């Protein structure tokens, strides 16, 4: 009977202390990819009719005058900038000089053991700790070493070890779970 109790106790302790193996990439460790909901600002030199703000629609496209619909989702900003410059130079604007920047990315969400869970604006270079700070900090019950994240293009969340520079990306849903001991 004692062996059975020791076995059960060790299984419970192992389950409670299990830490995830995966770590999030560091801030600046990857390039953001555009997705639905991102707002972009395009400036075409000497072409006010083409310049303006555009939103990536639910299908992942930008609808632009003269050019029509162009796929933006999944591309990095430099890739889209190069593609737009090429398309504009193909008969619309001679020697097209453009600037393209992100006005705002889609929001991020934080749930669980933080003071103010909810939707927050994503900013470039945001870390998990910066998001927790925006949400008022951890509650006294928070597990501060593990974070659960569901990325926008995934259907399930995964547990990650939290490091000081662990990055979040636009569209993420972050959940801070409770600690058990």
Tens-digit pLDDT profile for residues 16-68: 444 455 666 556 555 788 999 999 999 988 888 888 999 999 999 999 887 88
On whether both 79 and 110 belong to a single domain, the answer is no
Residue 96 contacts residue 44 (beta carbons within 8 Å): yes
Residue 81 contacts residue 144 (beta carbons within 8 Å): no
Tens-place pLDDT, residues 57-104? 999 999 988 788 999 999 999 999 999 888 888 877 777 788 999 999
Over residues 98-117, the mean pLDDT reads 94
DSSP track, 21-34: S-BPPBTTSS----
SS3 call for 158? strand
Query: Alpha-carbon distance 100 to 117, whole Å?
Result: 33
**Nearest residue to 32 (alpha-carbon basis) of 87, 79, 70:** 79
On whether both 130 and 98 belong to a single domain, the answer is no
**Which phi and psi (to 5°) does residue 20 adopt?**
-65, 150
Domain CATH number, residue 137 = 3.10.560.10
52-55 β-sheet, strand order = 52-55, 39-44, 98-104
What does the mean pLDDT of the chain come to? 83
> Is the model more confident about 114 or about 92?
114
- Supply the pLDDT for residue 18: 46
Domain CATH number, residue 78 = 3.30.1950.10
On whether both 111 and 166 belong to a single domain, the answer is yes
- Supply the pLDDT for residue 151: 87
Please state the pTM of the whole predicted model: 0.74
Query: Alpha-carbon distance 181 to 177, whole Å?
Result: 12
pLDDT level of residue 4 (50, 70, 90 thresholds): very low
**Which phi and psi (to 5°) does residue 58 adopt?**
-60, -25
- Supply the pLDDT for residue 47: 82
Q: Evaluate whether residue 5 is within a structural domain.
A: no
> Which residue matches tokens 């302790």?
13
On whether both 47 and 95 belong to a single domain, the answer is yes
Query: Alpha-carbon distance 70 to 158, whole Å?
Result: 33
Q: Is the pLDDT of residue 180 over 60?
A: yes
By residue range, what is the domain housing residue 97?
Answer: 39-104
On whether both 159 and 120 belong to a single domain, the answer is yes
Over residues 144-151, the mean pLDDT reads 92
* Structural domains of the chain, count: 2
């Amino acid at each position: 009977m004692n062996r059975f109790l020791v076995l059960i106790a060790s299984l419970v302790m192992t389950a409670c202390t299990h830490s995830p193996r995966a770590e999030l990439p560091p801030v600046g460790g990857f390039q953001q990819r555009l997705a639905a909901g991102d707002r972009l600002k395009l400036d075409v030199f000497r072409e006010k009719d083409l310049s303006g703000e555009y939103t990536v629609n639910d299908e992942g496209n930008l609808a632009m005058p003269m050019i029509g619909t162009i796929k933006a989702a999944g591309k990095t900003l430099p890739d889209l900038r190069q593609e737009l410059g090429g398309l504009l130079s193909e008969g619309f604007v001679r020697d097209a000089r453009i600037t393209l920047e992100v006005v705002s990315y889609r929001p991020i969400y934080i749930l669980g053991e933080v003071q103010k869970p909810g939707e927050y604006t994503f900013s470039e270079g945001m870390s998990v700790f910066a998001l927790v700070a925006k949400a008022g900090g951890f509650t006294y019950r928070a597990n501060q070493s593990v974070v659960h994240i569901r990325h926008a293009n995934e259907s399930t969340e995964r547990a990650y070890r939290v490091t000081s520079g662990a990055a979040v990306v636009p569209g993420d849903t972050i959940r801070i779970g409770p600690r058990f001991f």
